[in-house]
Amino acid sequence: MAKKETINVQGTEITVITSKENDYISLTDMANAKAGKARAADIIKNWIRTRTTLEFLGTWEQLYNPDFNVVEFDHVRMQAGLPSFVLGTGEWITKTNAIGIYAKQGKYGGTYAHKDIAFEFGSAISAIFRLFLIKEFQRLKEDETRRLSLEWNLQRTLSKINYRIHTDAIKEYIIPNIVTKEQIAYTYAEEADLLNVALFGMTAKQWRDANPDTKGNVRDYATLEQLIVLSNMESINALLIRQQLSQGERLVQLNNVAITQMRSLVENRKLKNLK
């Protein structure tokens, strides 16, 4: 789901549309910094029609867009530099099936470009503007990364707290009165794997065998949704243990919980907005 944010570059508010895979920056907002709203469209049109810009856009599209119309691009490029040559954003997109730039209609509309292209357009404003644009965009991304890290660590901590409740229930209802330390450790590992199998579909060892070059364990690479469900499952398993259900019975119930809750979280719009 796309998310709208803004950055301030030398006093100009610039819109950034962030999705899971790409970031697009408003060229219209950037052009306003140079000529104001009245001439923003002309600034973009004059920039896109130059041979240097077309070479850059064409190369970018060929790198990232498998559906780019190279034949039509060659026709456009041959006309670049002629006095009569005019090329607008919409025409460029229609003729070449470009994805690096798109036009959005409505109150908050305008021309948006992939960050790679937007940084290049920044030079049309000024070299200094381009530098501050890149700096502010990087700051935005660093803030997002920091926020997501805090959310992930919060869920990881909550999962560890609930795991203590989980192991207390194991000690009370599963472990016999007289056991060796090795037996206790084995029982804990077995119960942890019960949750792993219910949620991840594999034990910790199976995950390590499948990922020999990674550090940590399967839970260290869990998504935010998986950590939330894992936290809930630990509490539920503790309750099921106190009800003295067998591991087989608990595995079935925990797997149903995992499926139901994961579906709910993945479809939850509020959780998506955190990403």
Domain ranges of the chain: 3-125, 145-272
pLDDT of residue 176: 37
Task: Please report which confidence band the pLDDT of residue 183 belongs to, taking 50, 70 and 90 as the band edges.
Answer: very low
pLDDT of residue 115: 93
The model's pTM: 0.52
Task: Please report which confidence band the pLDDT of residue 105 belongs to, taking 50, 70 and 90 as the band edges.
Answer: confident
Tally of CB atoms within 10 A around 216: 9
pLDDT of residue 33: 77
Kindly state the percentage of the chain with pLDDT values over 90.
Answer: 22
